[in-house]
Amino acid sequence: MNILKSLLTILLFILFYFVYTYFVYTQESVSKYGNKTISSLACEGKIVFQKYNCISCHQLYGLGGYLGPDLTNVISAKGAPYVRVIIKNGTIKMPSLNVTDNEIEALVEFLSAADSSGIFPLKEFGATWYGTVIPKTEKK
């Protein structure tokens, strides 16, 4: 009888797992930022971002290195002209990487796309019942 109870308990947990998985992966995105597409220039900017290994020092959405600032919302915080100057000339901590003007424009477009896709860090946030973190201003 104990074996039957154990087997029934395991089967019940497996059933709950599949039901929960179904609901988590079939829900529509609740984020207003999630369904945007980026331009071809922004795609080139992503490649430039990877080519110069910017993620080793900088972060996007809180992921990456910690030597430089998070670049998720740098365009709205500092402006595109500021970003162009910093990329072209560097700073004390950031070396000048001899980036071409076309690469700078692509990087600025990529950072603009990242800027328009979300806010980081989320100062006030909530969570849906299935674990997705959302700003408190959005509906669940």
pLDDT digits (tens, 9 = 90+) for 36-52: 678 999 999 999 999 99
**pLDDT value at residue 33:** 55
Which 8-state DSSP code applies to residue 29? P
**CATH fold label, 40-117:** Cytochrome Bc1 Complex; Chain D, domain 2 (1.10.760)
The whole-angstrom separation of Cα 136 and Cα 140 is 9
Lowest-pLDDT choice from 49-53, 106-110, 132-136: 132-136
The amino acid that residue 114 corresponds to is A
- What pLDDT, on the 0 to 100 scale, is given for residue 61? 87
| Whether the Cβ atoms of residue 60 and residue 117 lie closer than 8 Å to each other | no
Instruction: Quick: pLDDT tens for 109-127.
Output: 999 999 988 777 766 777 7
48 three-class SS: helix
Domain boundaries, the chain: 40-117
pLDDT level of residue 140 (50, 70, 90 thresholds): very low
